[in-house]
Amino acid sequence: MKLQQLQAFVAAAHHRSLRGAARELGVTQPAVTHTIRELESALNTELMVRSVRGIELTACGLALLPRAEQLLGDMRRTIEAVDQVKGELAGKVSVGTMPSLALTMLPHAVSRFREKMPLVNLHLEEVTVPDALARLRNGALDLAATHHVQALDADLVQVPLYSTQFVVTMRAGHPLANVTRLSELLDAEWIVTVGADHFPHSVMMAMFSAHGLPVPKRLLRAPSSFAVTLGLVSQTDVISCFTRPLAQMVAPLGIRVAQIEDALPNYDLSIISRRDLLPTPAVQLFVECLRQVTRERMGGVQ
């Protein structure tokens, strides 16, 4: 397999179009077709077929895609690592994160990183944990700063970042603002920010179960949409759970912490990366900036 063949295949798979792949790569469509056919010949299998929806990957194509993405990502990182050691402070750092970090520690880490590497291209995105793990594996992300995964597969590694506490949040002036027990909030409407498949493992489920309480029946679902959560919690009677640093950050929106006397769960955050992937100097610096910021503001892992 050649680098150009993998590039053509991945571009066609992403665009689901040979024409789109040609535009991305700056070549002609026949050149893309020829290059992919060379790859199919080298592997002695068909990787994609045309359909009414464009390009469709075969079973072999689906098996090759994440590995091809990983190989291309690793090649890019290899070149960037050499360039950065030479003093050419360019390249790319891709980070997946979540609101609890994106609105608290991440901005300070980015500012600190920019002081030393102003030319490195930063790619930051909000991701769910399953999506983060998949994108780490295929090379789309260099690292994920997210909550600690209890049973992490052996191909990934995580380093503890810090531990914080969850709190119950609601708008200022909420009719239930003075309650002190979770049992008094069972009839309220709560917003759930995880999908149905992950709700049994959510903080909300653990919080009520720990006190022998059922989960509230009125659940408004907004998976992976923190903007929706902020809007509803700040302007309606919907209740949610935030980490304490995040609750402090959004307090100017009129969101308040309920003074619940029941013990609430802690939340552990970590940096997750691929075990077999050596970080570039830029990625190493970004991790160190993030860890420095959390040590200064949270005291590190508590």
Rounded distance between C-alpha atoms, residue 5 and residue 37, angstroms: 9
Distance CA 163, CA 147 (A): 9
Percent of the chain at pLDDT exceeding 70: 96
Q: In the chain, which ranges are continuous DSSP H helix?
A: 3-15, 18-25, 29-43, 59-85, 99-102, 106-116, 129-137, 203-209, 226-235, 244-249, 281-298
- Note the pLDDT tens digit of each residue in 10-47: 899 989 999 899 999 999 999 999 999 999 999 999 99
The answer to whether residue 302 scores a pLDDT higher than 60 is: no
Residue 104 has what pLDDT? 93
**Structural domains in the chain, sorted by start:** 3-72 (1.10.10.10), 90-302 (3.40.190.290)
Q: With a threshold of 0.85, does the pTM exceed it?
A: no
* Per-residue model confidence as pLDDT tens digits over 213-251: 999 999 998 877 888 999 999 999 999 999 999 999 999
Report the Cα 143 to chain-centroid distance in Å.
Answer: 9
pLDDT band, residue 177 (cuts 50/70/90): very high
Decide: 94 and 121 in contact? Cβ < 8 Å: no
Radius of gyration of the chain (CA): 23
**Whether residue 86 has pLDDT greater than 80:** no
CA count, 13 A, side-chain hemisphere, 68: 24
Q: Is the pLDDT of residue 267 over 60?
A: yes
Given a cut of 50, whether residue 301 has pLDDT beyond it is no
Is-contact 233 171, C-beta < 8 A?
yes
